[in-house]
Amino acid sequence: MDKYLQPYSAFERLRAEYKKHGSLIVAVDFDDTLYDFHKSGATYYRVIELVRELKKIGCYIIIWTGNEDTSFIRRYCDKEGIYYDSINEDAPYIKNTARKVYANVYIDDRAGLSQVYSDLTRLVNEVKYKDETI
């Protein structure tokens, strides 16, 4: 079976990267992941809370979006208490010339949000409660 189709393999990779670096670079989509872009009445409280918790454990947060209204994104994040390090820019310690920002993990409504939410929530809980495995 493909390596990252095995149960818990993606989580184990994230855990190992966090353990090695004491941090992760997390790219978070904005539209329909943090903000109800389509005005459907959807809420994103749990994802927003996860991003807050990731920041608390030292993760570098990139808002990664196709939305060009960065002043709106900044105001929204400030209002919601979403602390981030950059918008559509790599961490300053990463040398990257690709269009896609480098991240250890991407939180995106179009890319397995439920799985990554579960894996990152588990990691946050292990770090916060000093699990022996970290």
The model's pTM:
0.92
Contacts (Cβ under 8 Å, ≥6 apart) of 90: 62, 96, 101, 102
| CB within 8 Å of 122: residues ≥ 6 apart | 11
Contact yes or no for 85/49 (Cβ under 8 A) = no
CB 114 within 8 A of CB 48: no
Q: Are 46 and 114 in contact (CB under 8 A)?
A: no
Q: At what angle do helices 45-56 and 113-128 cross, to 10 degrees?
A: 40
Torsion of CA 44, 47, 67, 108, to 10 degrees: -120
Q: Which helix (H) or strand (E) holds 56?
A: helix 45-56
pLDDT, tens digit, for every residue of 13-66? 999 999 999 999 999 999 999 999 999 999 999 999 999 999 999 999 999 999
Residue 131 has pLDDT above 80, yes or no: no
pLDDT in tens, 83-126: 999 999 999 999 999 989 999 999 999 988 999 999 999 999 99
Domains of the chain, start order: 29-124 (3.40.50.1000)
